[in-house]
Structure 1
C-alpha cells in the first residue's frame, strides 16, 4: 500500500487476508449480549458470540452462519465485531472525549480457531499481515509472551513455544529477539474467561510510535522495548492472540483442554489511526496518532461542522492540579464535544438498530445516560434544538455497507433519538441553571440536590458528576444512591404485584382509542401493573393499536418530562389497552404523559394490512368465493393469510400477485366508517368471518368506490389500521404458499419497502447467477439463462413500478413543506432515479419552483424544475449551475428543467440553502 488506505480498505484487507487462509467471514453479533449469569449487558469483545464453542456446548459450525461473506473451513472464523464498553467491568464512558482513543463503541477485528490451528499458524499469520501486508516497520514491532511469576502464584508455565516462534520471525529480518520479545506477567499475558473455565496465555503485538526515522537503530529498539506494557501512549498494543489451552479448576489448578483454540482481537479504530496517522508508515516525525483524526470519524465531524458552524481542531485538554482532565480553552471544549457526540452517536445508533432502546433499566438506562451526555455536549456547540438524530443519515451512509442494519433501520433510529432528545431538551437548560446556582454555594453537591436533578430534570448521576468535576466540586454519591433505593421501593410498593399473565389483569376503566387518526396524544396514567419482567401501563386514551384481529400491536414511547419509557408492545384486556414497558420503573399513577406511536413501524404494518384485504379480494377473483379466510397475521415485516382451499397452482399465484399490484398501481382510495352490525350483515358485499361475535356497531374497511358509500370492490369488517390509498403499499410480492392444517393453506407475502428490498436482492442474484452460468459456456443451459434474464427484466419492471409508487407517496408528503410556490428538499440516501420519479410526481401537482437533492451511493444528485409562470424570475439551468459546484460537481439544463451532481455529500444542505437564496 503506497497511498494511505481508507478505513474501509483497512477493514477489508484484514477480512480478505483471513479469507485467503480458509476462514469463514461471519457477521458481527448483536451489540446486546446476555451473560451466562442472565445479566443483560453489551457485547464488549469479539469472543462473546463464540463462548458456547469454547465451552464445548456446540460444535464449531460457523460455515452455517446466516449471511456469511465467504465460505471457509468450519473451524476457522474471522469478523469485525461491534463492541460497546459503557458499563460494568469495561466502562470507558467517562474518558470519552478527553483523549484520542477511548470509545464507548468500537469495532474489534478478530480471527478464531476452534480446535484447528494453534500458536504456529496464529503467530505466522500475525507477522504476515502486520509486517508483510500492512508494512509495519519491523524494528518498531514488539511481541509479548507469558512469563509467570511463581512467587505470586501465577498459573501454568512460561510460553516458550510462542517465544521460539516470534524469535524466528524477528531473526528473519535481522532483528534481535531478545530485544523484540518482552516477558509479561499474569495481568498482561494470561487470559481467563472467569475464575474457572477456559483460559490460556496470550501474546500481544505492540508498536513503537516515538518520533524518528521509519526504521530504528538498535539503541532506539532497546529503548522502545522498555515502553512495552507501560503507560506511555507512544508505544501501544495493537493485537492480542489468546491461546485457550487450559481449564481453570475450582481448586486453583489448571488442566489441559481436550481442544485448543485461538481467540484474537485487534482494535479497528486504533489500527486505522496508526496507518493513517503515519501516512502509511512514511512519517513518524510529525505523526498524529488519534482514532478521531481518521476517516472513521471525519464524515460525522464534517456534518457537525455543517450543522453547528464550529470546526474540529484536534486539541486535547491537560490534567489539572487535582489530576482531572478538564477542557479549559474554548477550542478544547469544542473538540471534546465533537469527540463525545461522534462516539455516542455510533453507540446509540448501533444499539437501536440491534433492538436496544434508551430506557429506565440496566443497559437501556446506560443508553439514555449516553444520549443525555451527548445532548449536554451539544450545548457546547450551541445547539438549542434537537440535533443529534440528524447525524444518523451520514453514519448510515458511510457505515451501511459493512453494517446494513444501519440503513435498514435508519428511520427508526432517528425517530427514537428525536423523541429522547426532545424530552431531555425540555428540562436540560433549567437543570443546568439550577446546578450553576447550587454550585456557587460551596465545594460539594449534596445527594439530595443530585437526586433532585435526576428526578425532576432527568440528569443521570454521572452527568451531575461531570458538571461538578468541570467546576472542581464533589458529589455525595452515597446520599444519591440512598434516595434512589428509597424511590424504587416506593414505586414497587405502589404497583399491583404477583401478576404472571395478561389474563390475570383486572381492569375497570376503558381506554379511548384515537389511533386511527392520530399518532400522538396526551393521556393520564390510570393504573400500573407489575409483571415478571415487564410493566403494563394503562392510560385513559391511546394512539397505539392493541394487538387483535391478526394485526400486531404498536410500539412507541410514553414521555413524561425528561424521561421516555419505550413501549415494546400493546395489547388489550376487554376494552382496556395495556402498554408494555420493560422493567419496574414507570410514571406514577395520575401522571399526565405524552404517548407517541413508532411511526415507521406503524406505516409498514398498515401497508401489509391493506395488502391483506387486496389479497383476499384477488383470491376470490382467481380461485372462487368459497376460498374463505381462516386467519391472518400482520406485522411490519410480512403478512400471512390462511384460507380453506386446495393447493394453488403457480399460475394462480402469479395471477393473484398481478391483480394485487394492478390495484396498487390504480391507487384506489381506502376508507372506513362505523355502521350498525345489522346493516353490515344484510349487505352481501361486505365480507365477515362467520362464527365471530360482533358488537352492535362495526367498522367497515372499503377499498375502491366512492369513500364511505359501501360500493367498493373490497369491503370487510375490520378494526385494524390501513393506508389511505392502495398506492401507498408500493409493491406486493408473494413469498410462500403451503399447508398448515387439513384443508387449510397459508399464503405469506411482503409489501412496501420489504418487497422492494427482496426484489432488488433477487435481481442482483439473477445477474450474478446468469453471469456464472454463462461463463461455463454450457449450451444446454442457454435456455435457462434466457429465462433468468427474462425474470430479471420482469423484476426490474416491478422495481421501477414500486419506485414510482413510493415516489408518488413521497411527493404528497413534500407538498406540505412547500412555501410561497417553492419546494426545496433533501431526499436523503436514495438514488437519482428515485429523485427523478419524485420530481415527475411533483410536476403534475405543483406549480412553482422545485429543487431536489439525493445522496444515494455516496453521489449527490441535484435537479430543478421551474413552472413556466415562474421562469421570468428564475430558471432551472441557472439554479443547478450555481449550486452544483458547492457539492464539487457541475450541471445545467433548460429553463424548465436542469440536472447536476457532485461527490461532496456533506455540502448538500449548503447547496440547497443557496438554491433558496436564488429563488427568494
Structure 2
C-alpha cells in the first residue's frame, strides 16, 4: 500500500462507522498557551470542555491532523535525523467520540482496522492497559482489559501475554493539572524477526517494538484538591502515528517479511520524493546508514544520511507552518521555526550546499501532499519566498560563524591536549548567538559532532543579562518609577467619560519632564499599539497641558508640557482637587482608527485566510499601521479588504466591550487572542456586531483599547499602502474618518495635476500613461537586445581561448564586466561549446564568477563545487548546481590567481 492509500483507508474505515471526516486544523493552535498544534484532539478541546456543542451527527469524527512537536513540553527536535522515527512534523490519524461510543467500540474498531483491513499479524500485537501504582489516580481499567482479552482469546492468543500494564506515566492521560482525564490503551507491534518476545520490549524504547495507536478514554475530571470525579459524558480520543504505520507496512513488504528488512519512517514513499530531490540538488546519495548511539555520525556517509533525514523532516515543518501563517521570527513559535530552519541550512553544508537550497524542496511537498493538504499547494510561492529570504539572511553569517567555531575547536585542542572533557564556553556560544544568529541548539549540535560539551549554564546566564538590559531599555522613559511615593492605583474612567474630577497624588520627574499621578483619570495610557491621550489639567484658575500618558505599574503618568527644571511654583499642587479633560477631537480620531483595525483584521482574514494574524500595530490620531503575517497582498486583495471594511462601516453595527473571566473564553477560537500574551483572570472582549455583550459578533478580540460606539462613527476607511517590514511580515498603513477624506482629496488633486502635465483629460489619463509605458518598454527591449548582441560578440571572441585539461574541454577566461553580463556570455557560450565554462570579471570593484558545465562533463566536474573552491581566493563565496554556479568577492587583485587555480582543479 502507498502512504496515500493507507491514509485514505483509515478515513474510509471510520466513515463506514458513522464518523464525520473533518479537515486538519491549522498548526497555529486556537489556544494561546500552545506553541503549535501537537495532537489531533487540540481542535476538539472546546467540545470536551462543554464550551461548544458537538456539530457532528452522530457525535463522532475522524481526521488526519498536522502536528509539530518542537519546543515546549513535547520536543523531538534533538533526536531528528539520528534515528528512524523521530520527527518535528508528523501526521496523526485519529477518531473521536463525543459522549457517544466508548471503550468497547474504540477497541474493537482499532483491532478490526489493524488486523482485518491492514492485515497486521495478530500474534505480533500487544495492548497496554492502565493499572495504577502507589499514589496514582483512579482504578485498574478492568473494562479495557476485558475487551482486549476477548479479542486476543478469539485469535487464539493468551491475554496474559499480549496485554501489558502501565501506570500514570504510560497509560493515564491528563489535559492539565485539572480538567478532563482518563486511562489510555496503546497498541504495540513486535517487529523482531521471529515476533516471539512475549511483550518483553513493550514500552522499553526499543526500535523493534513500536507503539502505533493510543486510545484515550476521557471519563474523569481532575479536581483542584487532587481527587477525580466521573464526567457526565465520556469521550474517546485516539491518535495513530501515520508515518510509523506506513513504515511498518511498507518496510515489511506489506506485513509479509519481518526478517532482514529495514523498518524506518524515512524508508517510505512519504520521504522518498524529498530524498530524490536532495540527491539531484546535491549530487550525493542517501545510504540509509545510522550513527552509533551517542554520536552524530562517524563517517562521511553517516553524516550525510543524518543531513538527508534532518532536511527532509525540517522542510515539512517549515513549509506547513508557514502555509498556516506561522512565520520565522525572534520570539515564541516563530523563533522555534527559525531555529529549525537554521538547523537545516547548517546540515545542508554536510551535503555541499553553500547557496540557498532549502526553499527548492517546497515544490516537492506541494506536488506530493497538496491533495491532502491543499493549503501547501495554494501558498507554495509564499512559503518558498519566506524560506528563501531566511536562508539568504542566515547564509550571510553562517560561513563566518563556522569559521570561528573551527578556530575555537582548534584552540581547545591545542590548549587542552589529553584533557577531557573539552568544553565550549558559554561566552563563545553566546557570541555565536548574539553576533551570528546561531541558536544554542545549533552550537550544541556542532559541539556534539566534534565530541565536545558546552557550558549551557553560562550561556543562559548571559541570555538573562541581555533580557534584563532589554527590559531596562524598554522602561527608560519611566526610570523614576521605583521612586514613586504612592501605591494607590490610578482608577481609569476613560472608557465611559472624557472628563473627570479628582486629586493630584504626586509629582515626579521622569528624565527631562515632569509627570503627575492622578487618583482618577480619563486619559488612556499608551498600551497595545494605541498612543496615550493628551489634554488638560486644571486646578482653580490655573491649567497645564498634558502631552502624553503612560503606564507605570498600576499608576498612570500624565506628562506635562514643562521641562524638568521648571520652578516648583509652576507645578500643580499635590493633594489638591483638580479637573481633567481629554482632548476630545484627538481621542475620537484615535478611537476611529482603533475600531477600524478590528474591522481590518476581520476583513483581512476573510480575504487572505484564517491563518493571517496581527503581529503589531500603531493606532494614533493621524493614521493606523497594522502588521500581519502574509505574502505581499495583491492590489485586488487590498481593494476587496477596503470594500469589506467600508461595507461594515455603513451597517453602523454596535461596538461593545464586556469584561469576562479568561477561563470562559480561552478556548474560543472565534475570539482572537495572541500567543505570548499573559492574560489575567479577567479580560476585556471587544465585539463588533451581534447582541451587545452576547459574545456573538463577527469580530471579537481581547483588547484594552478605546473604541467608537458603532461602526458608522468611523466614517470612511482608506488604505494608503502595503509594504514588507520583515521576512513574511507585511504592514498596511491606513486612515479613517476626516484623515481618510483628506487623503482622498489630496489624491484627487494629484490626479488632476498629473493629467495636466501629460496633457490629457482625467478620464483619458490611464490610456495616456499606458501609451507612455509601452514606449518605455520598447526602448528597454531595444537596449536589452543590443546588450545581448554585445555579450554574444564578446563570448564569440573568447572561443579561441578554449583548451583541454586532460580529456575535458575547458574555457576559463577573464572578462571584466558585471555578473549579469558574464551570465549572458556564459549562456551564449553554452550553445557553442561543450565542456567546462568559467568566466570571471571585475566591475565597480566587485569580482563576479559564473560557471557552467555542459553535457556529460558534470560527472567529472561540478560547477557548484568549482566556484565554491575558488571564491574564497577573491574574498567571497559561491556555489550552485553541478551544471551552473555563481559566486563573487571583493579582492579583485587575486582574480587571475583564482582562475589559474580553477584550471588546476579541472585538470
Q: Distance in 2 between matches of 1:201 and 1:553?
A: 41
**Residue in 2 that maps onto 1:87:** 71
Contact 1:608 1:634 in 2 (8 A): no
User: Paired residue for 2:37, among 33, 37, 43?
Assistant: 43
Q: Distance in 2 between matches of 1:12 and 1:307?
A: 32
Contact 1:700 1:715 in 2 (8 A): no
Contact 2:127 2:188 in 1 (8 A): yes
1:383 positional shift? 0.8
1:107/1:282 CA distance change after superposition, 3 Å: same
| Structure 1 counterpart SS, 2:238 | strand
1:142/1:531 CA distance change after superposition, 3 Å: farther
Mapping 1:517-916, distance limit 5 Å: 568=615, 580=627, 600-602=631-633, 604=634, 606-608=635-637, 633=642, 692=742, 700=750, 708-711=758-761, 713=763
How far does the alpha carbon of each residue in 1:865-889 deviate from its partner, in whole angstroms, 9 at most, with x for none?
xxxxxx999xxxxxxxxx9xxxxxx
1:691 positional shift? 6.1
Mapping 1:369-380, distance limit 5 Å: 369-380=339-350
**Residue in 2 that maps onto 1:419:** 389
Q: Distance in 1 between matches of 2:65 and 2:398?
A: 34
Contact 2:131 2:165 in 1 (8 A): yes
| Structure 1 counterpart SS, 2:333 | helix
Q: Is 1:14 the counterpart of 2:23 in the alignment?
A: no
User: Paired residue for 2:60, among 73, 76, 93?
Assistant: 76
1:33 positional shift? 2.2
Q: Is 1:303 the counterpart of 2:332 in the alignment?
A: no
**Residue in 2 that maps onto 1:482:** 461
Contact 1:40 1:362 in 2 (8 A): no
Q: Distance in 2 between matches of 1:41 and 1:463?
A: 20
User: Paired residue for 1:366, among 327, 332, 336?
Assistant: 336
Q: Is 1:455 the counterpart of 2:451 in the alignment?
A: no
1:438/1:243 CA distance change after superposition, 3 Å: same
**Residue in 2 that maps onto 1:252:** 226
How far does the alpha carbon of each residue in 1:829-884 deviate from its partner, in whole angstroms, 9 at most, with x for none?
xxxxxxxxxxxxxxxxxxxxxxxxxxxxxxxxxxxxxxxxxx999xxxxxxxxx9x
1:201 positional shift? 1.2
User: Paired residue for 1:398, among 360, 363, 368?
Assistant: 368
Q: Distance in 1 between matches of 2:298 and 2:642?
A: 59
Which consecutive unaligned segments of at least 5 residues does structure 2 have?
Answer: 413-421, 478-524, 535-549, 554-593, 605-612, 652-720, 722-737, 790-830, 834-854, 856-880, 886-907
**Residue in 2 that maps onto 1:282:** 256
Q: Distance in 1 between matches of 2:185 and 2:786?
A: 62
Contact 1:705 1:712 in 2 (8 A): yes
1:506/1:452 CA distance change after superposition, 3 Å: farther
Q: Distance in 2 between matches of 1:193 and 1:382?
A: 45
Q: Is 1:261 the counterpart of 2:235 in the alignment?
A: yes
1:485 positional shift? 1.7
1:608 positional shift? 4.3
Contact 2:531 2:618 in 1 (8 A): no
| Structure 2 counterpart SS, 1:258 | strand
1:315/1:872 CA distance change after superposition, 3 Å: closer
Q: Is 1:156 the counterpart of 2:138 in the alignment?
A: yes
1:167/1:503 CA distance change after superposition, 3 Å: closer
User: Paired residue for 1:56, among 50, 61, 68?
Assistant: 50
**Residue in 1 that maps onto 2:527:** 500
User: Paired residue for 2:314, among 337, 341, 344?
Assistant: 344
1:816 positional shift? 9.3
Q: Distance in 2 between matches of 1:234 and 1:439?
A: 38
**Residue in 1 that maps onto 2:168:** 186
**Residue in 2 that maps onto 1:326:** 296
How far does the alpha carbon of each residue in 1:627-657 deviate from its partner, in whole angstroms, 9 at most, with x for none?
xxxxx8169xx9969999xxxxxxxxxxxxx
User: Paired residue for 1:172, among 129, 135, 154?
Assistant: 154
Q: Distance in 2 between matches of 1:55 and 1:689?
A: 46
**Residue in 2 that maps onto 1:316:** 290
1:699 positional shift? 6.6
Contact 1:450 1:464 in 2 (8 A): yes
Q: Distance in 1 between matches of 2:602 and 2:102?
A: 51
1:160 positional shift? 1.5
1:424 positional shift? 0.5
1:574 positional shift? 7.8
How far does the alpha carbon of each residue in 1:558-586 deviate from its partner, in whole angstroms, 9 at most, with x for none?
xxxxxxxx99467686889968589xxxx
Q: Distance in 2 between matches of 1:50 and 1:156?
A: 24
Q: Distance in 2 between matches of 1:156 and 1:491?
A: 48
1:449/1:816 CA distance change after superposition, 3 Å: farther
**Residue in 1 that maps onto 2:26:** 30
Contact 1:308 1:383 in 2 (8 A): yes
1:578/1:226 CA distance change after superposition, 3 Å: same
User: Paired residue for 1:115, among 95, 99, 103?
Assistant: 99
Contact 1:571 1:579 in 2 (8 A): yes
1:379 positional shift? 0.7
1:384/1:530 CA distance change after superposition, 3 Å: farther
Q: Distance in 2 between matches of 1:431 and 1:693?
A: 48
1:499/1:185 CA distance change after superposition, 3 Å: same
1:253 positional shift? 2.0
1:698 positional shift? 5.9
Contact 1:199 1:246 in 2 (8 A): yes
Contact 1:553 1:571 in 2 (8 A): no
Q: Distance in 2 between matches of 1:103 and 1:117?
A: 32
How far does the alpha carbon of each residue in 1:45-66 deviate from its partner, in whole angstroms, 9 at most, with x for none?
11111122222222222x3xxx
How far does the alpha carbon of each residue in 1:126-146 deviate from its partner, in whole angstroms, 9 at most, with x for none?
111000000101111111111
1:474/1:124 CA distance change after superposition, 3 Å: same
Q: Considering only CA atoms, is the larger Rg found in Structure 1 or Structure 2?
A: 2
| Structure 2 counterpart SS, 1:601 | coil
1:494 positional shift? 2.5
1:111 positional shift? 0.3
Q: Distance in 2 between matches of 1:639 and 1:531?
A: 37
1:438/1:121 CA distance change after superposition, 3 Å: same
How far does the alpha carbon of each residue in 1:508-537 deviate from its partner, in whole angstroms, 9 at most, with x for none?
xxxxxxxxxxxxxxxxxxxxx9999xxxxx
**Residue in 2 that maps onto 1:543:** none
Q: Distance in 2 between matches of 1:393 and 1:277?
A: 26
1:505 positional shift? 6.8
How far does the alpha carbon of each residue in 1:574-625 deviate from its partner, in whole angstroms, 9 at most, with x for none?
889968589xxxxxxxxxxxxxxx7x523x1x2345x78xxxxxxxxxxxxx
How far does the alpha carbon of each residue in 1:792-826 deviate from its partner, in whole angstroms, 9 at most, with x for none?
xxxxxxxxxxxxxxxxx9xx99x9999969xxxxx
Give TM-score scaled by structure 1 length.
0.58
Q: Distance in 2 between matches of 1:431 and 1:86?
A: 24
**Residue in 1 that maps onto 2:204:** 230
Contact 1:238 1:271 in 2 (8 A): yes
Q: Distance in 2 between matches of 1:207 and 1:88?
A: 29
| Structure 2 counterpart SS, 1:227 | coil
1:299/1:634 CA distance change after superposition, 3 Å: farther
Contact 1:554 1:570 in 2 (8 A): no
User: Paired residue for 2:411, among 438, 441, 449?
Assistant: 441
Contact 2:295 2:448 in 1 (8 A): no
How far does the alpha carbon of each residue in 1:191-210 deviate from its partner, in whole angstroms, 9 at most, with x for none?
12222221111111111111
Contact 2:530 2:618 in 1 (8 A): no
1:354/1:468 CA distance change after superposition, 3 Å: same
